[in-house]
Structure 1
Amino acid sequence: MKRQLVWLLSSRKLGIRGTKAAKKRILFNILLITLVVSMLVLAQLFVVSMSNGIADKYALLGNGHLQIHENEDTKIPALPAIYDIQNVSQTVALVYSATGNRMIRVKGVGPTYFNQYRLKQLSFSKSDTVESSSSLPRVTISKSLAKLLSVNLGDRIALMMVNSGAKNTLRPQLCIVDTLYDSGYRELDENLIFCDYELIEKLFSDNTDTYFELLVDEKEIETTKVALQAEGLSVTSWDEENYSVASNLNTSKEAILGVLIVVAILCGYFISEVSNEMVEDDKHKIALLKLMGTTDRIIRRVYFSTVMAVTLFSTLCGTLLGIILGRNLKIALAFLAKRSIPALSYYLLDFTMYVPIQEISLILLVLTFVSAISILWSLRRIHKIELLSCTHFD
């Protein structure tokens, strides 16, 4: 009997068997909560996806997921998680043109370096008009670096490196800009130049760092690293090689998650205001139910069930809406990228959308928990409603 009474009263409060005014109020609350939850989910999805996208750029183009610092003739164990191995060499140099200069990282790679995995992370521009008769070495620089140096395809730039000999002399090397690349992340592009592996080893072998660059299944990075170290190899990961970048990405994700949790707490408090409004508007009905012998416990269950049903339904709708918006966000990001807005130039706008299940679940659990606690707290006022108060509203 109690369950039937709770269901009857709850269904009327939800508008299933209520008036048009009740249905409009419930619909408004559902839309409002859905909108807030969808924005929370979308914000978390965007931040995590962009952070993972930046990490992928550094892993695939910068250093690889793992690095083995051994001699060239070192035999690398064939582990199932490793799907690409490249021998690369790198050094630091000053690149300059007639109008500008910049300290950059020069990376010597082989002909198979830009394979199907790395080509997903960048695009190339190459011109057939670049002089082929010149004996000068050719390099690949980014479009953003070319803009800083005011150079284009076929132009000449100079690389100034320290030749680690007895006198530590500076050694300039003229090069031709053969190819322009664009990874979509300006902070990486402006500091990275590619050239042939043989060139960097021939000209600057005294001051280079040669290592094996490994691409590994992201879920198996740590286990693969441990397995390689067990073989006696010196292994590092991309986040160790780019500590400041990795730590900044983690800090940003944690900070944004903290902010979104605070917003979820505020949203949970707002949901308690829904129950306050219902109780305030239904004072005379609550008093009448008390006169009919309905206990405070049953009345609280009715209002708690009503508001929690609205909350859970809105949370589900908001989560689905946020994920749908996030999955289709690439269209808007592509539009912004084409507009070349200066304020967004240092943000990555080309990345794969990833749904962070754990983070989103944490936000939703906090919102639901705070909502339940705040609703129960607000419903304490029911027992304070006097029985004769119903006459004040008749």
Structure 2
Amino acid sequence: MNYEFFIAKRIIGSKSYKSSVSAPIIKIGIAAIAIGIIVMLISIATGLGLQKKIREKVVAFNGHVVVSNYDNNLSNESKVPVTINQEFYPNFKTIEGISHVQAVASKFGLIRTETDFEGVVLKGVGKDYNWDYFSEFLREGTLPAFGDTMSDEVLISQYLANRLQFKVGDKFQMVFGEEDLQRVPKIRAFTVVGIYNSGFQELDETFIIGDLKHVQRLNRWSEDMIGNFEVFIDDFDELDQKTVEVYQVLPSLLNATKVSSKYGSVFEWVKIFDNNVYGIIGIMILVAAINMITALLVLILERTQMIGILKALGSSDWSVRKVFLYNASYLIGLGLFWGNVIGLGLLLMQKYFKLVPLNPETYYVTEAPVYISVDYVILLNVGTFLVCMIMLLVPSYVITKITPVKAIRFE
């Protein structure tokens, strides 16, 4: 039997251990580990969750990669058309990791009511449009259904519905200007069939979703002309690589723009969360380790006579150190256990009950999003345990300076 582990187990199970002078300090050390894990779990889960949600919302309106004519780059309005007859449409057969390609076109116009008006972009989509993202955003009504015939159905944001006092089923007119000022502006009538809320106000106040055929007719395009293609990929982490791969197979007149370039300020802001999370993890682990070092030193001081007896009986310095390191590992494990129980419990409550709201004008979401992954939970726990144990090797060296004669006489 591992006698160091046996002695450590007896120490932990003894009543004197729980009622000793070191008991409050030990509890503080355990609490420090638990609080550290709670804070780290919350910071990682909410940081990754916020990044993921913001990316999903931007991608919902633009795709991961936008393929368009060079003259249309970074513009919300399609001015120079692209033919839909491309080798890569409807599927990129030569590139793996691309889940969907859809054809869209956009046109700026004014929504006109009896009392107000609002400038928005009509995003025209067809029957190939992927509605998965907007299914999550839908708050009232239904999603439009576009087929072979032109439809007047549109999906508008809750932000615009509140400003213009629209409800599901309401009809409204939209005025579209002409580049040739001598031409009379065109007026189209639409019906609200659904109201969505992505929580990303910059996008919600800009876009309404309608039939692609309206944009084609307004721009005097043929049925095979569209504004641009939106390309969706399987893994956001491969965005740069897939953008290059897409660009390499495009005709010379087309360009591929990744969504992070179109909304550079948003994605740069999102990256800041990584630095914040790393900083919090470093500080929490350091604080927890320092508290455990203090607890270990107090334990050593309290058990000085036992250390002297073990040495007098022939135990090596390393064997005695292992007794206290086993003891410390139990305390760290106890702190990790309660930290995970409380931390994951709080995260699950936020995930399912939305207890903590956020200002969408600042954070682009209405509540603190949570992303829980087994990978980072295990990595965080293992990393915290190893760092604390490595740091405890230094204070345990104090045991080597204790001589048996003085230790046995120590009071």
The corresponding residue for 1:299 is 320
Could you list the per-position Cα deviations for residues 134-173 of structure 1 after superposition, in whole angstroms to 9, with x for gaps in the alignment?
A: xx965421112322444444556675666333x5999585
The corresponding residue for 2:371 is 353
Q: Counterpart of 1:191 in structure 2: which amino acid? A: T
Distance 1:320 1:370, change over 3 A: same
The corresponding residue for 2:160 is 145
SS of equivalent residue, structure 1 residue 85: strand
Q: Distance in 2 between matches of 1:170 and 1:355?
A: 57
**Structure 1 unaligned spans of 5+:** 128-135
The corresponding residue for 1:272 is 293
The corresponding residue for 1:252 is 273
The corresponding residue for 1:131 is none
Contact kept? 2:325, 2:392, Cα under 8 Å:
yes
Distance 1:28 1:263, change over 3 A: closer
SS of equivalent residue, structure 2 residue 277: helix
The corresponding residue for 2:396 is 379
Q: Does 2:210 match 1:195?
A: yes
Match of 1:230 among 235, 239, 248: 248
Following TM superposition, by how much is the alpha carbon of 1:223 offset from its aligned partner in structure 2, in angstroms? 5.6
What RMSD in Å do the two structures reach over aligned CA positions? 4.2
Match of 1:74 among 74, 83, 86: 86
Q: Distance in 1 between matches of 2:183 and 2:398?
A: 83
Q: Distance in 2 between matches of 1:186 and 1:305?
A: 51
Q: Counterpart of 2:269 in structure 1: which amino acid? A: N
The corresponding residue for 2:62 is 63
The corresponding residue for 1:118 is 133
Following TM superposition, by how much is the alpha carbon of 1:307 offset from its aligned partner in structure 2, in angstroms? 0.8
Distance 1:330 1:51, change over 3 A: same
Of stretches 47-56 and 303-312 in structure 1, the one that deviates more from structure 2 is: 303-312
Contact kept? 2:350, 2:356, Cα under 8 Å:
no
Of stretches 82-91 and 102-111 in structure 1, the one that deviates more from structure 2 is: 102-111
Distance 1:212 1:388, change over 3 A: same
Contact kept? 2:347, 2:370, Cα under 8 Å:
no
Distance 1:175 1:281, change over 3 A: farther
Q: Distance in 1 between matches of 2:306 and 2:116?
A: 78
SS of equivalent residue, structure 2 residue 83: coil
Of stretches 25-34 and 70-79 in structure 1, the one that deviates more from structure 2 is: 25-34
Contact kept? 1:137, 1:175, Cα under 8 Å:
yes
The corresponding residue for 1:315 is 336
Q: Distance in 2 between matches of 1:100 and 1:292?
A: 92
Could you list the per-position Cα deviations for residues 182-226 of structure 1 after superposition, in whole angstroms to 9, with x for gaps in the alignment?
A: 2442423233222221222333569x9811122332266556544
Could you list the per-position Cα deviations for residues 227-278 of structure 1 after superposition, in whole angstroms to 9, with x for gaps in the alignment?
A: 4333234323322332222222222233223323322222222222221221
Q: Counterpart of 1:84 in structure 2: which amino acid? A: H
What pairs up with 1:201-212 in 2 under 5 angstroms? 201-203=216-218, 210-212=227-229
Q: Distance in 2 between matches of 1:374 and 1:99?
A: 69
Q: Distance in 2 between matches of 1:36 and 1:19?
A: 24
Distance 1:141 1:245, change over 3 A: same
Q: Distance in 1 between matches of 2:109 and 2:247?
A: 31
What pairs up with 1:103-182 in 2 under 5 angstroms? 104-113=120-129, 115=131, 117-126=132-141, 139-153=154-168, 163-165=178-180, 167=181, 171=185, 173=187, 176=190, 178-182=192-196
Which structure shows the bigger proportion of residues in helix conformation? 1
Distance 1:336 1:300, change over 3 A: closer
Q: Distance in 2 between matches of 1:156 and 1:110?
A: 21
Q: Does 2:61 match 1:44?
A: no
Q: Distance in 1 between matches of 2:278 and 2:184?
A: 48
When normalised by structure 2's length, the TM-score is: 0.73
The corresponding residue for 1:130 is none
**Structure 2 unaligned spans of 5+:** 69-81, 143-150
Q: Counterpart of 1:44 in structure 2: which amino acid? A: I
